[in-house]
Structure 1
Amino acid sequence: MLNVTGILKRLVIGPARRSEELGETLLPKRLALPIFASDPLSSVAYATQEILLVLTLGGLAYLHFTPWIAAAVVTLMTVVVLSYRQVVHAYPSGGGSYEVASTNLGPSPGLVVAASLLVDYVMTVAVSVASGVDNIISAVPELADQRVLMALVFVGLLTAMNLRGVRESGRLFAAPTYLFIGGVLIMVGTGLFRYLIGDAPVAESAKYGIEPVPGDANLAGLALVMLVLRAFSSGCTALTGVEAISNGVPAFRKPKSQNAATTMAAMGIIAITMFVGVTTLAIVAKVHITDDACRLTGLTDCGSYTQRTVIAQLAASVFGGENSVGFYFIQAATALVLILAANTAFNGFPLLASILAQHRYLPRQLHNRGDRLAFSNGILALAIVAGLLLWGYKANVTSLIHLYILGVFTSFTLSQTGMVRHWNRELRTERDREIRRRHHVARVVNATGAVITFLVLVVVLATKFTQGAWLAVLAATLLFVMMRGIRRHYDSVAAELTVTDLRSEMVRPSRVLAVVLVSTIHKPTLRALAYARAFRPDRLEALTVAVDRDASTALERQWEDYGIEVPLKVLDSPYREITKSVVEYVRSIRRDSPRDVVAVFIPEYVVGHWWENLLHNQSALWLKSRLLFTPGVMVTSVPWQLSSSARADHPAARAPGSVRRGEPTTAPETDDVGTHH
């Protein structure tokens, strides 16, 4: 069983890498772009669609706001990209928004950013995968019933690829990302060229009208403003993942900051170009899409009609129908890149979790690198939570999108505010006029970013809170409280373990009293006795619990016949309590001699097959856990390897008495811990 597991592990993630090979995993810009920027690049596949879905709540009357909303999103993205280029240069260690906020605003704002980003990374995986599945279903509607299963399978594949390491996953993701970029640009260019020559593409949904949602028709004043702001907040999904590059600076080749800044600029230019192109083409092709197909007027059977995504409708209209090569190419590339866009989170989440673990805000296991030098525990944690979300929300993009982007703008706002304070501090000490001029410009950029992203955060919170965003707020709040609690625990443990008086801590105990638990005289018992003697304790005794009086008497008689020089103490237990009797006896020794140390030796079997564990009870496991909570008591397991344990682990030639490192030994049977039946 263990060998099969090991073989499967190597097939999935590959051979282990040495720690010295970490430098070989660093990324050139051409691989860093698809790894860290696949999320904002791929979001153009649904950002325009989200704007249209909100505006069509009022029918077709409000679609003329689309260009203005898209322009606002582009302006915001430009400001955010420029702002994060400042972060990359100022904080190249990889903490990104978290490090900026913690350093300049304090630990609590830093934790708010961290909690928001961790929640948003989970949402990135869920939304990207669900959107990718939507595009697959647009090409093959017969797969609609398998939506959740497909989403979970894709999360599993992404997890496996990321466990193989950052560089390996980058090679896998590079081609689909570049194919998607090329495909979208060709589609946009072709469609706009056709428009200019008088042959504008027409979407399949252009012939349908849209029935307004009751209450959303003929809006005016504040109600209309709220609808437009809601559409804008939905379109801001185009900005998700922009900060990932600032978190992943350590993964770049040298010069790290310069390469990361260049990659971020390239990402911003490409993402803005594609978003503007798709939105313009959607307006030209008259794409009509709603949250409910039955609101499309002119359909004969809305119940069986599956709306295609905006990207799918554009591809069909530009390339000549749903059976064209161009249509299937765009759908395949879009679906693939949307699913792979989750890779942005699979890189950002583990990196941020590792930094938080290093700062003692998350369990330390999240800071450990796996066999392939990736942060495996963080990858697995992200996959599990995202998978549960997809299952719970049935991989529905419209439902998941309301939980999205709130955390992004929280981190945007706090990090840009922190950068303003950073530049203020730099300006107080810098005397070079040219450098001061650059600092002033940087401060203006970050201040503008802070103001704009704060306003967007307010808009997102106001428009999405009651539609599901409150769950994201609650999750981030709980995560914030949990991280504060973890830090308090680690701080209290560190304070408790700190040596204040070396001499007092090094004082030897007055005596060492050794107790060997036995039930019958066999090889494990004799090995435990011999091992205990090797410690040369001040007092050594064997201990058994008399659950069965006849068996206890037989053991005492056999003990004398063998002439074992260690005294045997028998504890009476009329209610057949094993653990309680042993623990109370050991504690009584401690009460009588509080300056003494009690060493308890427990003989145990080691078996080689999982099913053999079922044949031996686990009484020693519970006994050890109880004894470990008793001050002044040391517990030692003395293993006896059965022949099956040697066969199960090759090479079979192991030193007698050795324990397979990293594998649990079985707890002894009841007769191995000093009991009788």
Structure 2
Amino acid sequence: MSSSTSLAKRLLLGRPFRSDKLQHTLLPKRIALPVFASDALSSVAYAPDEILLTLSIAGASAYLFSPWITLAVAVVMVTVVASYRQNVHAYPSGGGDYEVATVNLGPKFGVAVASALLVDYILTVAVSVSSGVTNLGSVIPFVAEHKLLIALAAVSLLTALNLRGLRESGTAFAIPTYAFILVILAMIATGLIRVFVLGQDIQAPSAGLQIHAEEEHLSSFAFVFLLLRTFSSGCAALTGVEAISNGVPAFKAPKSKNAATTLMLLGGLAITMLVGIVLLARATGLQFVEDTSQIISGPPDYVQKTVVAQLGEAVFGNGILLVLVGAVTALILFLAANTAFNGFPVLGSILAQDRYLPRQLHTRGDRLAFSNGILFLAVAAMVLIVAFDAEVTRLIQLYIVGVFVSFTLSQAGMIRHWNRLLRTQRDPARRRQMIRSRAINTFGMALTGAVLIVVLITKFLLGAWIAIAAMIGIYVLMLGIRKHYVRVAEELQPTEERPVLPSRNHAIVLVSKVHMPTLRALAYAQATRPDTLTAVTVNVDDKDTRKIQAEWERRQIPVPLTVVDSPYREITKPIIDFVKGTRRDSPRDVVTVFVPEYVVGRWWENILHNQSALRIKGRLLFEPGVMVTSVPWQLRSSQDRDLDRFDRGLVHAPARGPRTRPAPPAPAPAPQEEKTQ
């Protein structure tokens, strides 16, 4: 890594943390709530929009059902929170739904849950950031005009914050999350008091509009289907609940108790805000449609604002408080993606440890965060945002399928978990507690399973099939990765037989010119004391080859120089053929190829040097019985770079003298050819 890249990394991420500092990154409940619950809390900013938007298909009269649908969503929320409180106590290691399904239902069910969660985490980032941009665009027209670019910039900023480490990102997100909670609760309380206590008539900006139904005459079956579709869209409010069960290891002790308390706080706040916003929307006559062409009376230049923005204007008017409502709503939606940025890397690390994902996702970065997982999530979310042009209504159709798959399978796993414990538990008090927990998980499985069926039926053709296809693809990919790692481990398993030592070692030094790197490679090759030593050059140009031979003789280098002809001016293939021929004479022999290489200090110098060496090494790695040794030669630019870094205090003082090169060791006499036995 160049010095400029290293400096930029330090400025962006900060100084690296020692591994023994990991305990200092653990979170208290007051920080864990905004870190892990921001997704579920922020969903109150777009779940009401989706409820009202879907009901508008049947006309404004269908808004009458919005409180009942919201109540149904609240019941599901209470059930899921109660179920996951059992999970965090039973499985505090951080595996969450994946661990529960794997232990109790089997590895393939665990992989199915993991694939669903990975897709849902990616969609969480895409939906939350896109919704944040939309809400901010309701009060700042510039944002609406550059929605896509601002969404991508927001993901990039979140990535940088999370790469700095869990505690720092949690602190950064705590203030806006709590500000959002206070502002929304204050707006709901003020609005409901003005309407129901003081009797004031406050109207949303869209209250006076007239809209027509997209479908004027709905049959009973079609209307029920519409209500179910509305309910499935409103269930987006449940996303993010499972993140706490995946993040239990990040809590301070007692981990399970703190995680369960945070879950309860999350559920209470999310339900209060969701129900309050929908009730206030009904009280103020708020209307929200998917297509503004449904509006048949209203200002000609009418621009539809989000539900939260309209309620803020109705309650607080067009002043600083309205700006505050828009600002904190946009902030919480941007930061809601942080739930995924904390959950996805941890789950990816666990899957990598179990060999279902590349091992690079298992290790922590400089700041004790799972950097590779964070970067992978950011790139995948950006691809989705670009593909769907940051449109929340289009992205929401892909949403929540994965999370309800994991909800249902997790609860099924918990039922088997309690059944297994009940078979051996004899203490009456403990048995009653387990039976109660099993009943909660049984009800949770039944309810989330029913919601999953509703979601699949109502959203499949609207885009849910894309999420399902992605889950299947990731499921197959993870099984393939696991199969590869198992096969490699079996192949590398040591046997009882002792390895057969090679009978002889033949050394070959590649020569392009007679210069200092070549002389150093020759000296090093001689120091290894091989049985035979040969220098090889490829005759691409007769004039250059004669110069090499003349210089070889002039210096009286005591190593034979072999010239390999190349009528088609190739370099790699003649060398490979020569190496193969050397080993073919005796299969028990090994061939060591010494490759002189330049060490450069500037990135662009790599383009000008070492390309032939890289191609040759890449081919030789596939040859059995062939060892490849790089012999580096540091150019002055590499030494200058190290000294410059020392001057800036980035590295310790170089352990060398002045900027002069020592002469290479004189070549020793060539070893005698071993007599044939």
Work out whether the TM-score is over 0.5. yes
Secondary structure class of the residue paired with 2:490: helix
- Is the 2:37–2:241 contact (alpha carbons within 8 Å) kept by the matching residues of 1? yes
Task: Return the offset for 1:550.
Answer: 3.0
Partner of 1:451: 446
CA deviations over 1:354-380 (Å, ceiling 9, x no partner): 100010000110111111100000001
Deviation for aligned residue 1:67: 1.4
SS in 2 for 1:291: coil
Q: Give 1:305 deviation, angstroms.
A: 3.2
Name the CA distance, whole Å, in 1 between partners of 2:302 and 2:298. 8
- 1:109 aligned partner, one-letter code: F
1:238-277 paired onto structure 2 within 5 Å: 238-277=237-276
* Aligned counterparts of 1:386 and 1:162: Cα–Cα separation in 2: 15
2:205 is matched with 204
Residue pairs, 1:627-638, within 5 angstroms: 627-638=620-631
1:308 aligns to 2:305 (yes or no):
yes
Residue type of the alignment partner of 2:323 = Y
By how many angstroms is 1:616 displaced? 2.8
**What residue number does 2:662 align with?**
none
2:413 is paired with a residue whose SS is helix
> Whole-Å Cα distance in 2 between the matches of residues 144 and 179 of structure 1?
23
Distance 1:516 1:357 in 2: 40
What TM-score comes out, normalization by structure 1 length? 0.94
Shift of 1:519: 2.3
Supply the AA of the counterpart residue of 1:28.
P
CA RMSD of aligned residues (A): 1.3
Q: 1:439 aligns with which of 396, 411, 434?
A: 434
> How many matched pairs?
649
Match of 2:55 in 1: 55
Other-structure match for 1:19: 19
How far apart, CA to CA, are the structure 1 residues paired with 2:343 and 2:363? 15
Using the TM superposition, name which of 410-419 and 612-621 deviates more.
612-621
Matched, 1:67 2:67: yes
Q: Is the 8 A contact 1:544 1:570 kept in 2?
A: yes
Contact 2:592 2:626 in 1 (8 A): yes
1:487 to 482, 491, 504: 482
CA-to-aligned-CA distance 1:323-358 (integer Å, 9 cap, x gap): 222211111111100100000000000010010001
What is the CA distance between 1:655 and its match in structure 2? Answer: 5.2
Question: Given the alignment of the two structures, is residue 116 of structure 1 paired with residue 116 of structure 2, yes or no?
Answer: yes
Structure 2 residue 522 is the aligned partner of structure 1 residue 525: no
Question: Retained in 1: the 8 A contact 2:511–2:535?
Answer: yes
Amino acid at match of 1:310: V
Q: What residue ranges of structure 1 are gaps of 5+ in the alignment?
A: 658-677
Aligned-pair CA distance for 1:567: 1.2
Which stretch of structure 1 is more off in the superposition, 137-146 or 422-431?
137-146
Q: Which moved more, 1:268-277 or 1:615-624?
A: 615-624
Task: Tell me what 1:168 maps to.
Answer: 168
Q: Distance in 2 between matches of 1:312 and 1:519?
A: 71
Question: Are the aligned partners of 2:598 and 2:610 in contact in 1 as well (CA < 8 Å)?
Answer: no
2:131: which partner in 1?
Answer: 131
Query: CA offsets, 1:140-188, max 9 Å, x none?
Result: 1243210001101110110010001110001000011111101111111
Identical positions, percent: 58
1:228 aligns with 2:227: yes
Contact 1:12 1:160 in 2 (8 A): yes
Residue identity opposite 1:398 in structure 2: T
SS at match of 1:294: helix
Q: Which residue of 2 aligns with 1:278?
A: 277
SS of 1:468's equivalent in the other structure is: helix
Match of 1:217 in 2: 216
* 1:195 corresponds to: 195
Deviations 1:216-249 (A, max 9, x none): 2232321111100000000000000000000000
1:89-135 deviation line (CA, Å, top 9, x unaligned): 00000000000011111111111110111000010001100111111
**Cα deviation, residue 300, structure 1:** 4.3
- Alignment deviations for residues 29-78 of structure 1 (CA, whole Å, 9 cap, x no partner): 00000000000011011111111100001111211111111111000000
Cα distance between partner residues in 2 of 1:46 and 1:482:
33
Which residue number in structure 1 is paired with residue 357 of structure 2? 362
Aligned equivalents of 1:150, 1:560: Cα separation in 2: 67
Q: Which amino acid aligns with 2:204?
A: A
* 2:178 aligned partner: 178
Name the counterpart of 1:500. 495
Could you tell me which residue of structure 2 aligns to residue 674 of structure 1?
A: none
Deviation at 1:314, TM superposition (A): 0.6
Alpha-carbon separation, structure 2, partners of 1:615 and 1:341: 46
Contact 1:192–1:200 at 8 Å: present in 2 too? no
Q: Distance in 2 between matches of 1:607 and 1:146?
A: 42
Could you say which residue in structure 2 is the equivalent of 1:92? 92
**Distance across 1 between alignment mates of 2:637 and 2:140:** 52
Quote the Cα distance in structure 2 between the aligned partners of 1:308 and 1:550: 78
**Are 2:35 and 2:174, in contact at CA under 8 Å, matched by a contact in 1?**
yes
Structure 2 counterpart of 1:87, which letter? N
Aligned to 1:515, the other structure's residue is in SS state strand
Q: Which string of whole-angstrom CA distances, capped at 9 and with x for unpartnered residues, describes residues 389-421 of structure 1?
A: 111111111111111110000000000000000
Report what 1:469 is aligned to: 464
Report deviation, 1:565. Answer: 1.3
Query: d(CA) in 2 for partners of 1:469 and 1:372?
Result: 37
Deviation at 1:211, TM superposition (A): 1.2
Which residue matches 1:605?
A: 598
Q: Deviations over 1:451-482 (max 9, x none)?
A: 11111001101111101111111111111111
- C-alpha separation in 2, matches of 1:72 and 1:537: 79
Match of 2:343 in 1: 348
Query: Which of residues 391, 394, 410 is equivalent to 2:405?
Result: 410
User: 1: CA distance between counterparts of 2:564 and 2:445?
Assistant: 72
**SS of alignment partner, residue 199 of structure 1:** coil
Q: Which amino acid aligns with 1:407?
A: G
Q: Which residue of 2 aligns with 1:104?
A: 104
**Is the 8 Å Cα contact of residues 141 and 306 (structure 1) preserved in structure 2?**
no
Distance (Å, rounded) in 2 between the aligned partners of 1:566 and 1:593: 22
Contact 2:133–2:143 under 8 Å retained in 1? no
- Once residues 589 and 2 of structure 1 are traced to their aligned partners in structure 2, the CA distance between those partners, rounded to angstroms, is 39
Matched position secondary structure for 2:522: helix
